Amino acid sequence: MTKMIQTMRWFGEKDPVSLSDIRQAGCTGVVTALHQVPNGAIWEIKDILHRKSLVEKAGLKWSVVESLPVSEAIKTQSADLQLHIENYKQSIRNLAHCDIRVVTYNFMPLLDWTRTDLNYKVADGSIALRFEMAALVAFDLYILKRVGAEKDYDAKTIQRAKHRFERMSDDDIKLLQKNILLGLPGSEESFTIEQLRTALATYDGIDRLKMQQHLLYFLQQIIPVAESCGVNMVIHPDDPPFSVLGLPRVLSNAADMAFLAAAVPSLHNGLCFCTGSFGVNLTNNLPAMVRQFGDRIHFIHLRNTTRNANGDFFEDNHLEGDADMYLVVSEIVKVMKQQKRSIPMRPDHGHQMLDDLKKTTYPGYSAIGRLRGLAELRGLELAIIRNMH
């Protein structure tokens, strides 16, 4: 019976969720990364082996790298471009040497993911991540004061943002700023407003088309190395799948992925299929995308969101949002059966709930909410498999 490989993300030894917790949840694999290595530097074999050893001593396998970051120098093609690309190639070789064969990355400018509320209380009292368009636009127009920002929004959206901003206290403004500027989950990095303005300026003159070409150049450089090493590179879609703070987006829908696949045909140019990121885009048919890109999907994020007409969304329970998880998992099961392979999957962005409400956790990565999601997804997959026989 071919089933998804059940994993959870682990942020290393400082993660409040231990490897023992992950194993007790029913996982056989771990998704992790060397967050301590600066973007653009080489992941050395000794550091990879140290992390791998920790995972294996806990009775688990390091199944997927998430993420091997793509530096801003590569994304903008600025100084250190070639050095960072050569370093990236060497990191791929070093991971292959340590027998780690799936490597996740993204090509999102500056901010890996954007939410406006990290403590959104849902009806049952648990805590979820939320994106509110009016809050993001209020930040852009009235806090960041990005030049030309008003051209990116329609009049109704600007009016909602103005009304939202006028009702905000100083503490509300500080919290919104902190939430939007939060860096990678599990890292200490975040921007100040001035640093963000400076960073945004590095994207002056880089529109969607140019960003797409920069991504293609990167892939043309690294995919031959990945292919020769037997490593599958998987790109994570944009989160959220639309422009944020005027920055270009290059992987938001099926057409974007089809473009990348046609331009760099190697199946080592793969996809991290994230139902949450793709699901926020109303135009994306998730089951059809699994069918279309099944041979390129080497890693899966299963999470659900509930969205509204204003562009807001929150992270819902895994089986309860707008994505039809039954249909999505059914297509994944078919792909695995046809191709006779198992694909690593992790439940993503679980609610903070029960005892975890009293703990300090990485936003979206508390133990119990992900455990609930994994349990639901395992049951769903098993029922689908049994029903197919």
* Catalytic residue ranges: 236, 274, 301, 348-349, 365
Give the CA count within 13 Å in the CB-facing half-sphere of 63: 22
Cα–Cα distance for residue pair 235/317, rounded to 1 Å: 24
Cα–Cα dist 163/30, whole Å: 44
Helix (H, G, I), strand (E, B) or coil at 317: coil
Q: Report d(CA 259, CA 237) in Å as an integer.
A: 14
For every residue of 131-160, DSSP letters joined together read: E-HHHHHHIIIIII--TTGGGGS-HHHHHH
State the Cα–Cα distance between residues 297 and 288, nearest whole angstrom.
13
Q: In what order do the strands lie in the sheet with 117-121?
A: 117-121, 127-131, 313-316, 304-307
**What pairs with residue 346 in β-bridges?**
301
Packed helices 254-263 and 208-229: angle between N→C axes, nearest 10 degrees: 50
User: Quick one: which of 235, 241, 236 has its CA closest to 313?
Assistant: 241
Sign of CA dihedral 136, 142, 147, 150: positive
Residues 6+ apart with CB under 8 A from 198: none
Distance CA 6, CA 11 (A): 17
Which of 213, 147, 188, 150 has its CA nearest to residue 38? 188
- CA atoms of 79 and 81, how far apart (whole Å): 5
- For residues 64 and 232, what is the distance between their CA atoms, to the nearest angstrom? 10
